[in-house]
Amino acid sequence: MSAATELKLTQNSYYAASANEQPQYPTLNADIEADICVVGGGFAGLSAAIELRDRGYSVVVLEAKHIGWGASGRNGGQIIAGLACEQSVIEKALGLDAAKKVWGMTLEALDLVRERVKRFNIQCDSKDGFLGVAVNPAKGAALREWFDGMAKNYNYDTDAKWISPNDIQQWIDSPRYHSGYYDCRSGHLHPLNYCLGLAKGAASLGVKIFQNSAVQAMQQGEVVKLNTETGSVKARFVVLAGNMYLPEVSPKLAPSLAKRIMPVGTYIIATEPIDANVAAKLIPTQSAVCDTNFVLDYFRFAADHHSKDHHSNKQRMIYGGRVSYSAMTPPNLSASMQARMAETFPQLANIKVEYTWGGFVDITMNRAPDFGRLAPNVYYLQGFSGHGVALTGLAGKLVAEAIAGQAERLDLMARIPHHDFPGGKLLRTPALILGMAWYQLRDALG
C-alpha cells in the first residue's frame, strides 16, 4: 500500500468521521528531559504512559503523526480474550501452568479496557459480547474441540457458552454459519475514540504528548537521547510502541525489531445508517462477530449517534476482512467488501457502503505478541497480530511494572520465542503471499 493510498483510506474512515473532539497536541520544538520517553501515540504507548504516570514517573509521548494514526485508530474495534495465536502455541513454548497465567492476563486486559473507559469517561460506544462462529460442519467440529479444551484447561465456559447448529440462528440471523460460541466478557468499541480518550486521560495526569514528532535517532546509554527534527528528549527509560510503523517512520531506531514483524493490510467498510430494529434482528446480542477461517471476516454493528449527520436510532454495520499480505490494496475494495457482507447477511444486499478504509497491522511468525528489551532501559512492545485493542493495554501495564522493578510478568511474555520472517526484506512478502494463498484455498475447501 502506498503512502498516498493509505492516507486516502485513512481519511475515508467512519471512525475519523465520527471522532470525538480532541485537544491539539503540539510538535516538540525544544530539548527536554523526562523519566520515561514513550515512542508511539497508539493504544500501547498511551497505556504505558498512563501506567507509568500512575507510578509517579514523568512521561513524554512522541507520536510521528497524530494520536491514533496507526492500527489503534483504524481497526475492527473488537475486544477479545486470548492472543492471536492458539493457546497451544503458548503451552508448547512455556508449559501449561505458564500458559494459564498468560490466558489470565488476557482476561485482565479486557477488564483494563473497561476500567479506563470508566476512569476517563471515554465516550467510545463500548459494548459487551463476542461471537466466534464456524462456516461449515468440519470447522464447527474443530471449533467445538477447541472450546471443550479451553473449558477443561482454562475454565473458559465460565465466561462463554457453546452454540449448537440448532441454536445458531437465534444468535446470528445468517445462512453462513454452522455453530459457534458466545463470550460475554469480550466485546467491542469505537477504537479511535477510545484512543483519543486515552490520550486525553494521559494528558490530564500530566503526561506530555507531542504530535508530528517522529524520532529520527536514538543514542543509548544510562540516559537515552531521542532526537526529532526540531527537538530532543533525554530519558532514563524508553518504551518503543510504534509497532508496524516504527521501522517505516524511524528505520534507524531499532532495525532488529523490523525483521520479526510483517505488515498486513486489513480493510473495513461502514454502511449507511440502518434501523436499529433490523440490526437487533440480525445480531440480537449486538455482539462483535468473527469467523474461524484463517483468512477471516469480522464485523459488528456500531452506534451512529456520534456521526456528523446525527441520525437517531440508527446503527451502521462495520464489516472487515479482505486481508492483504502483499502491501497492495485489493482492487474494487468497496464493492468486494460489500459482496462479502451480503453473503453473510443477504438482508443487507441493497444497503449502501458509505465508508471504506484500511491500514497495516503487524503480525509475528507465530502470531504471539513480542515484548521485551533492547537494552536494560529500552523496552519494546509489538506483534499484537490483530488482537491489540485489549492486549495493548496489558502490554502498557507490564512494561510499567517492569520499569518500576516488578518484571516477572513482562519476562514471562518475553520468554515466548520469536523468529525473523524468512527471505529477508525482498523475499519475505512473496513467500508469505504464497503461504496465504494456500490457507485461502484451504478455507474455501472447508
User: What are 123-156's pLDDT values in tens digits?
Assistant: 999 999 999 999 999 999 999 999 999 999 999 9
- What was the pLDDT predicted at 256? 85
The class that CATH gives domain 3-433 is alpha beta
Ordered by start, the domain boundaries in the chain are 3-433
| Average pLDDT, rounded, for the chain | 90
User: What are 253-283's pLDDT values in tens digits?
Assistant: 888 888 888 888 889 999 999 999 999 999 9
DSSP collapsed to 3 states, the chain: CCHHHHHHHHHCCHHHHCCCCCCCCCCCCCEEEEEEEEECCCHHHHHHHHHHHHCCCCEEEECCCCCCCCHHHCCCCEECCCCCCCHHHHHHHHCHHHHHHHHHHHHHHHHHHHHHHHHCCCCCCCEEEEEEEECCHHHHHHHHHHHHHHHHHHCHHHCEEEECCCCHHHHCCCCCCCEEEEEEEEEECCHHHHHHHHHHHHHHCCCEEECCCCCCEEECCCCEEEECCCCEEEEEEEEECCHHHHHHHCCCCCHHHHCCCEEEEEEEEEECCEEHHHHHHHCCCCCEEEECCCCCCEEEEEECCCCCCCCCCEEEEEEEEEEECCCCCCCCHHHHHHHHHHHHCHHHCCCCEEEEEEEEEEECCCCCCEEEEEECCEEEEECCCCCHHHHHHHHHHHHHHHHCCCCHHHHHHHCCCCCCCCCHHHHHHHHHHHHHHHHHHHHHHC
- What was the pLDDT predicted at 76? 94
- What was the pLDDT predicted at 7? 44
- What was the pLDDT predicted at 45? 98
Overall pTM > 0.85: yes
- What was the pLDDT predicted at 261? 86
Give the number of other Cβ atoms within 10 Å of residue 425's Cβ.
10
- 350 touches 331 (CB < 8 A): no
